[in-house]
Structure 1
Amino acid sequence: MTSGTSSSPPHLDTVLGKAVALLRAFHVDDTALSLAELVRRTGLPKATAHRVAGDLVEHRLLDRTRHGYRLSGGLFELGMRAAPERSLLELAMPFLQDLYERTHETVHLGVQDGVEVVYVAKIGGHRQARSPSRTGGRMPMHCTAIGKVLLAYASDDVRTAVLGSELERRTPHTVVAPGLLRRQLTRVLETGVAFEREESTPGLLCVAAPVLDPDGRTAVAAISITGPVGRFRPESHQTAVRAAATSLASTLGRRGRTARQP
């Protein structure tokens, strides 16, 4: 459950494209990047990267440190104004916290972005499993429980794009055979849960359930519980994660109906 960027590369022939390229050069695990590294990752000329980075510093989108540049709090402020994700997170947090209190295992909330999962929230205590997941991080859909749930309910175009591509083998247990993955997705639709067994990270197990929209055909998000091999039994938590996801879906549905009322 690591980070990356999946959006199409910005157009570098515009000022905005250059600025976006610099911002997207940062990965979730990065604390600061030198100007040389920004140049390497973006392909921008050094003078251009320096000038645009300076503009981003002035607008509080980057900070300049002795180690180079880092993303600034101004980006966090903008991100928290993103209405769909903010509303989802605000409504989901009580359910995620309840799920954590019941299980004391790591709880995630994720959404689909293209052919990847983006982790919107992560709650874990002192004994949480050693997981590389980060809030705002990304993972391919085929190798995580949340990703399988979202993929099972995704559009035909998304499923075709994932199943028709070369599936990355992240561990010896990663499912890379399209036929086997397709059968797992069918099972998700039948049972309402998906499992991951050391497919994204060695030593981790996971179970996830979809947060469905009112028509029950599309997953607007998914909730998962993750734990380590040896202690965690994902099957024993499927009822709890399904109940949390269903309760959140009901809350989202009521909120949507209220918003539509005159």
Structure 2
Amino acid sequence: MPPSMVERMTLILDAFERRSSRLNLEEVAQRTRLPRSTAHRILDQLVKLDWLDHGSLGYGLGRRALGFGDSGNNHAELRSVANPYLHELHMRTGMVVHLSALDGADEIFLDKIGGRFAGKLASKVGGRCGAHWNSGGRAMLAALTPEEVDDLVGERIRAHRGEEGWSLPELHQELNRIRQHYGLSIDRSGRRSMGLISVGAAIVGPEGPEAAVCLCPPSNAVPLERYAPLVLATTREISNEMYPELQRLAGQRGGRSGAPRVAGGHRRVLRTA
């Protein structure tokens, strides 16, 4: 007896072994052993119903599938993949390392690794601040289009009228500078942030910024530019492990793997609340 529609849909959804998996049509048909035409028809239906999404790197789990059981609030895979890279960055520099993600207009801290100096920083795991306050948050914002930035944080900045140290034109100027410097965000003073002197870069997935890594030295005497390449390399390694399809696509285009998407396209901001 041929499998029912429900069974075929389940086969396709089960083909995505990880939350971050991206598969093309041929890979879905091969994994499910369904005829290519059948797989394509069901994939289209699953995309229309938000069980899957479809982008330049193929199909991935959509809003409905990602929300099952945790309302889309689970960063476990990201933290698991990132953890060894964060520890390596801390061991190589001796500095405090943060992992954070966007949650609407906020940056939320998912992990914090460091020695005794870590306790002196205001940041804490689970804590949050304005997405534009710190180098990690601004690195993620720089991986969005100006229109997306306006939608995300514009209302909050206008409401505070510069009380947080930023006007919208100033923020856009800073984000343009970050884009021109390979996605690196450097804050040498901490004046317009939580007081965190830091260098950050975004972890970029198929549809935009997934998270950020931020490195904080014990004093402003540390030349942050010296450590910027390590931060950038860490984010690219995490992105490449979570999204190996990015490397494949970069190879096909003759580009550099893990290069940030800084404009255009659909974005997916990780939601935690």
What letter corresponds to residue 166 of structure 1 in structure 2?
R
Q: Is this contact kept in 2: 1:112–1:150, CA < 8 A?
A: yes
Alignment pair present for 1:201 and 2:198: no
Counterpart CA distance in 1 for 2:228 and 2:105 is 25
| Shift of residue 230, structure 1, vs aligned partner | 3.7
Residue number in structure 2 paired with 1:238: 228
Q: Structure 2 residue aligned with 1:212, among 186, 199, 204? A: 204
Q: Deviations over 1:10-69 (max 9, x none)?
A: xxxxxxxxxxxxxxxxxxxxxxxxxxxxxxxxxxxxxxxxxxxxxxxxxxxxxxxxxxxx
The change in CA–CA distance for 1:255 and 1:87 in structure 2 (over 3 A counts) is: farther
Q: Is this contact kept in 1: 2:198–2:216, CA < 8 A?
A: yes
Q: Is this contact kept in 2: 1:114–1:158, CA < 8 A?
A: no
Report 1:101-140 matches (<5 A).
101-128=91-118, 130-140=120-130
Report 1:245-260 matches (<5 A).
245-254=235-244
Residue number in structure 2 paired with 1:184: 174
Counterpart CA distance in 1 for 2:177 and 2:159 is 19
The change in CA–CA distance for 1:169 and 1:229 in structure 2 (over 3 A counts) is: farther
Report 1:1-16 matches (<5 A).
none
Report 1:4-153 matches (<5 A).
84-128=74-118, 130-153=120-143
What letter corresponds to residue 102 of structure 1 in structure 2?
R
Counterpart CA distance in 1 for 2:239 and 2:74 is 14
TM-score, length-normalised on structure 2?
0.57
Residue number in structure 1 paired with 2:50: none
Counterpart CA distance in 1 for 2:162 and 2:119 is 18
Residue number in structure 2 paired with 1:163: 154
Q: Deviations over 1:132-172 (max 9, x none)?
A: 1111110101110011011112365541132343375999x
Measured on the aligned residues, the alpha-carbon RMSD in Å equals 3.0
| Shift of residue 201, structure 1, vs aligned partner | 3.0
> How many residues of Structure 1 are paired with residues of Structure 2 in the alignment?
175
The change in CA–CA distance for 1:239 and 1:167 in structure 2 (over 3 A counts) is: farther
TM-score, length-normalised on structure 1?
0.59
| Shift of residue 83, structure 1, vs aligned partner | 7.4
Counterpart CA distance in 2 for 1:253 and 1:101 is 25
Larger relative contact order (C-alpha < 8 A, sep ≥ 6)? 2
